Amino acid sequence: MFVERKVREFINVDPLQTGGVLTEDARRMLVEWGDGYSVCDFCEGNLHEIRNPPVKEFVQELAEFLDCDVVRITNGAREGKFAVMHSLAKRNAWVVVDSNAHYSTYLAAERAGLNVAEVPNTGHPEFRIVEDGFAEVIEETRKKGEVVLAVLTYPDGKYGNLPDAKRVIRACHDYGVPVLLNCAYSVGRMEVKAGKLDADFVVGSGHKSMASAGPIGVLGMKEEFAKVVLRRSERFGNKEVELLGCTARGVPLMTLMASFDHVRERVKRWEEEVEKARWFCGKMEEMGFGLLGEKPHNHDLLHFESPQFYEISKRVKARGYFLYKELKKRRIHGIKPGRTRSFKISTYMVPKEKLEIVLEAFKEILEKYQSFITPPK
Ligand SMILES: *Cc1c(COP(=O)(O)O)cnc(C)c1O
């Protein structure tokens, strides 16, 4: 069976997908290394030490890229978070997370048997994480049990907010609490130097932000934590227990490696991407869509409120799906079907000419259904 992916030629503004589009080299790797376990031809026991293909060299370069002492390949950002949490977990212990955290952070904690305490955000419309809240929440939580880790989502996947990581890390370290930066939406898009920020752990997502086929992720850490997180099996002395001995032993890793040169170059153009996202925001606001999250915005993940679309959805046959259908007609992909009250969109690596087409589409849709929108009083 072969299934065509019809939207592959569409303009893609899906925040989940804009950073995961493969490079040509990565696409060729898919076929070349697609056979099961082909990566393992010359493995001597550890994925990150394989010399042919040059995984070992890649992992060393990745450590430099992330500015971390030790790096491992994982099956995704969540698997990295889980490995860290599981190895640090104790009875009745806590992890402190920002309140914009991804659901997988909560699930990782739950699976590791950790309790979760949340640092609040400022609420509508900016939802900024209160950096100083980390100290307060750790202070309070310590009364209930040991705080073994803090997680900062950098940026979060709801609003694309980038909190002041240094400030959060400093505050947590004052209490002796290590910090994991969840960089699923940043590593591979913008420069993230974990060492410079003094982060103890960093996780990234290959399929989210590193032009890779998934599932694949990266986990970086300080040397002092490698002893705990990467401890070896008693029975199989060369296997790392938290990684179950091996992680992404297949073609996703080969695509991550194939795209790495491109990724290292593209992070240098991050400012242009932010500039473009802000320009797009400006145009959307002119049409009456309200940006949620930080203003001015510092990331390509944009979340807009769209009460006009909601009004329309109440009066058309397709209901909430009208927006998705209108965009599909125009060969634009990435706004979640059924959504109208608010929606997320990403401008990352989408050329300005194509964003102009997206803006024009929104304008046309608003005009087409003009009579369905009740003017604000
Ligand atoms: C996408 C995302 C994840 C999940 O990444 P995986 O690599 O698929 O596990 C985790 N955290 C955030 C903030 C995300 O946006």
Residue among 104, 203, 219 whose CB has most ligand 1 atoms within 8 A, to mutate: 104
Give the DSSP letter string of 187-252.
BTTB---HHHHT-SEEEEEHHHHSS--SS-EEEEE-HHHHHHHTPBPSSSTTSBGGGTT-S--SHH
Handedness of CA 206, 208, 214, 216 (dihedral sign): positive
Mutate to test the pocket of ligand 1, among 73, 75, 78, 97 (most ligand atoms within 8 A of CB): 78
How does pLDDT run across 113-149, given as a tens digit for each residue?
Answer: 999 999 999 999 999 999 999 999 999 999 999 999 9
pLDDT more than 90, % of the chain: 98
Distance 117 CA to ligand 1 centre (A): 20
pLDDT bin (cut points 50, 70, 90) of residue 249 is: very high
Claim: this prediction has a pTM higher than 0.75? yes
- Which residue's CA is minimally distant from atom 2 of ligand 1? 184
Atom of ligand 1 nearest to the CA of 155: 13
Residue 368 CB contacts under 8 Å (≥ 6 apart), including other chains: 326
pLDDT of res. 376: 63
Of the pLDDT bands very low, low, confident and very high (cuts 50, 70, 90), residue 342 is very high
Cα 315 to ligand 1 centroid, rounded to whole Å: 35
Domains annotated for the chain, with CATH where assigned, are 11-18+268-372 (3.90.1150.10), 23-266 (3.40.640.10)
- Rg (C-alpha) for the chain, rounded Å, is 22
Predicted pLDDT of residue 377: 62
Surface-to-core class of residue 24, CB atoms within 10 Å of its CB (0-12 exposed, 13-18 middle, 19+ buried):
exposed
Q: Name, in order, each residue with C-beta under 8 angstroms of 229's C-beta and a sequence gap of 6 or more.
A: 83, 84, 87, 88, 201, 221, 242
Closest-CA residue, ligand 1 atom 5, reads: 77
Residues with CB under 6 A from ligand 1: 76-78, 102, 104, 153, 156-157, 182, 184-185, 205, 208, 217
**Distance (Å) from CA 217 to ligand 1 centroid:** 9
Sign of the CA dihedral running 220, 268, 56, 37: positive
Q: Rounded mean pLDDT of the chain? A: 97
Q: What DSSP letter does each residue of 302-330 carry, written as one string?
A: EEEE-HHHHHHHTTSTTGGGHHHHHHHHT
Q: Which atom of ligand 1 is nearest to the CA of 157?
A: 15
How do residues 41-78 score in pLDDT, each as one tens digit?
A: 999 999 999 999 999 999 999 999 999 999 999 999 99
Whether 34 shows a pLDDT value over 70: the answer reads yes
Work out which ligand 1 atom sits closest to the CA atom of 185.
15
Instruction: Tell how far the Cα of 109 is from the centroid of ligand 1, in angstroms.
Output: 14
User: What ligand 1 atom has the least distance to the C-alpha of 217?
Assistant: 7
- What is the best residue among 18, 208, 212 to mutate for testing ligand 1's pocket, by most ligand atoms within 8 Å of CB? 208
Distances, alpha carbon 304 to alpha carbons 103, 249, 300, 311, in Å: 21, 39, 12, 15
pLDDT level of residue 265 (50, 70, 90 thresholds): very high
> How far away, in angstroms, is 184 Cα from ligand 1 center?
5
For residue 202, the CA-to-ligand 1 centroid distance in Å is 12
Q: What is the distance in A from the centroid of ligand 1 to the CA of 81?
A: 10
Query: Mean pLDDT over residues 283-306, rounded?
Result: 98
Task: Indicate the pLDDT class of residue 373, thresholds 50, 70 and 90.
Answer: confident
Q: How many angstroms is it from 205 CA to the middle of ligand 1?
A: 6
Q: How far is the CA of 349 from the centre of ligand 1 (A)?
A: 19
Provide the pLDDT confidence category of residue 374 given band limits of 50, 70 and 90.
Answer: confident
Atom of ligand 1 nearest to the CA of 216: 7
Out of 17, 100, 102, 299, give the residue to mutate to test ligand 1, the one with the largest number of ligand atoms within 8 Å of its CB.
102
What number is the average pLDDT over the span 81-105? 98
Sign of CA dihedral 23, 26, 31, 36: negative
pLDDT digits (tens, 9 = 90+) for 198-246: 999 999 999 999 999 999 999 999 999 999 999 999 999 999 999 999 9
List, in order, residues 6 or more apart from 31 with CB less than 8 Å away.
Answer: none
* Model pLDDT, residue 53: 98
Q: Are 100 and 153 in contact (CB under 8 A)?
A: yes
